[in-house]
Amino acid sequence: MISAGEFRNGVTFEMDGQVMQVVEFQHVKPGKGSPFVRTKMKNVITGAVIETSFNPTEKFENAYVDRKDMEYSYNDGNLYYFMDQETYELEPIDESMLPDGFKFVKENMVCKVMSYKGNVFGVEPPNFVELEITETDPGFRGDTATNVTKPAIVETGAEVKVPLFINPGDKIKIDTRTGEYLERSKG
């Protein structure tokens, strides 16, 4: 059990059958009246953010969210299979659980699979991935205009905006959280 007075950023707890994570908290001691804890929290499963106040003595059940490194193996229709790196068991995860950034993940990449009480509710792809450009208009020597981009298709089939000097076959680094090109990879 955890009381509202013990809230810290990142603490997860169960409230009304939902798993909540503290994003921000503030202990308030007004001149008149009793102290309270103003809290901004996120529903871990749905992503909804709510703000509310609690009495510091209110108690909640601790919630332990399991974040396990699993290797993406393959997909079959709407099911994506992830392999547990310790037991080598495959875990099927429905396409609806995958974030937008998953379009940059290729087979054999390690992702964080998040679950609560054995139920998977989300997949976190690696923050940065290196992928090869399969299709784009060729770059030309001297194309160095700043902030001018062109569309390119990477090996996973996703489209990303890249600078004009990038050519098919180049490897680039992409931020999966924003879907943005970061840099051309060396080698």
Q: How far apart are CA 8 and CA 37, in angstroms?
A: 11
User: What pLDDT is recorded for position 159?
Assistant: 92
Tell me the whole-structure pTM to 2 decimals: 0.72
41-73 residue pLDDT tens: 988 878 889 999 999 999 999 988 888 999 999
For the stretch 159-171, pLDDT in tens is 999 988 888 889 9
Query: How would you list the strands of the sheet with 18-28, edge to edge?
Result: 2-3, 59-62, 12-15, 18-28, 36-43, 49-54
Q: Which fold has domain 66-124?
A: OB fold (Dihydrolipoamide Acetyltransferase, E2P) (2.40.50)
Q: Which amino acid is at 128?
A: F
* pLDDT of 142 higher than 80: no
CA 183 to CA 163: how far, in whole Å? 9
Would the pLDDT of 7 be above 80?
yes
**Domain boundaries of the chain, sorted by first residue:** 2-62, 66-124, 128-184
Report the pLDDT value the prediction gives residue 50, as an integer from 0 to 100. 93
Give CATH superfamily name and number for 128-184: Nucleic acid-binding proteins (2.40.50.140)
For 2-62, give the CATH class.
mainly beta
- Cβ-contact 177, 156 below 8 angstroms: no
Taking only the tens place, the pLDDT of each residue in 64-99 is 888 899 999 998 988 999 999 899 999 898 888 888
Contact 3, 59 (CB under 8 A): yes
pLDDT for the residue numbered 33: 87
Q: What is the pLDDT of residue 31?
A: 87
- pLDDT of 145: 60
2-62 shares its CATH topology with 128-184: no
